[in-house]
Amino acid sequence: MNGILLVNKPKGMTSHDVVNKLRRILHMKKIGHTGTLDPNAEGVLMVLLGNSCKILPFIKNDIKEYVAKMTFGYTSDTLDIWGNLEEFEVESYPTVDEVKDVMTTFMGKQLQIPPMVSAIKVNGKKLYEYAREGIEIERKAREIEIFELDLLSYDKDIELRCLCSSGTYIRSLCVDIAEKLGQKGVLSSLVRTRIDQFTLDQTYTLEQIENGEYSLLTNYEVLNKYPYIVYNKIEDVKNGKRIQLPCRDDMVMIVSGEEVIAAYQHVNNGIYEAKRGLW
């Protein structure tokens, strides 16, 4: 079985837990996910099956969408409601207009410091592993971009929708919004509703998958951010030979029909070298 499975990850499971359960359901060893989703979050998780695991280095996952809730009156060591909470009295809640005005200031490119509970590695160890040991690591701010930020509802809790670049931490965004409003606040709910062109309504629950009620995406459907090039001498491609192509794109996918054969990278003057066979 080869292909890409869009899973609706349930709350309370790690992404690794989901992969392990899918191994048992599908009776497969060769399986992996394309990007971690927090245990207390739910939503779109892209899982690669069989030979489709080969495409992992070429999946961009540039844009992600989340629906989140932020609750006033708390701080937390994990920046969310599931950490060690400290409660504060909310003397006066901000108005809807104040919330909207502050949210507009977070649009566009900006620097964000990753939280200690992130999966970023420092000296070969993930930040959340340091956090579990009570160790605080200095983190460098990273550039992120927020494309859309909408207020969905506001009744003491803020519910928002965020379309952003990969690597944006919504828990940090919620805390920053609260701080800019002169408040204390933490993330209290998180759903990933989109990874690039793939949305929550295209996903399958673990129960549906267990019942055989699912279908897979092909490599051809997932890698379409790259130029697709038809090359007649497929044997040369399968043998990993350098080839001449009438383009100058940095990375292209060699295809035959609707099958992606290989990823090729530009060297110079239209000469491309094989990066990986994908058949």
For the annotated catalytic residues, the residue numbers are 38
Are the CB atoms for 52 and 63 separated by under 8 Å? Answer: no
Helix (H) or strand (E) holding 170: helix 170-180
Buried b (16+ CB within 10 A) or exposed e, 223-258: beebeebebeebeebeeeeebebeeeeeebbbbeee
Q: Is 53 helix (H, G, I), strand (E, B) or coil?
A: helix
Specify burial of residue 132 (Cβ count, 10 A radius: 0-12, 13-18, 19+).
Answer: exposed
Judge residue 92's burial from the number of C-beta atoms within 10 Å of its C-beta, 0-12 exposed, 13-18 middle, 19 or more buried.
exposed
Q: Which residues contact 39 (CB under 8 A, 6 or more apart)?
A: 11, 12, 13, 14, 17
Do the beta carbons of residue 223 and residue 55 sit within 8 Å?
A: yes
Burial of 268 (0-12, 13-18, 19+ CB in 10 A): exposed
Q: Give the whole-angstrom CA distance, residue 269 versus residue 220.
A: 27
Q: Are strands 271-277 and 259-268 parallel, antiparallel or unpaired?
A: antiparallel
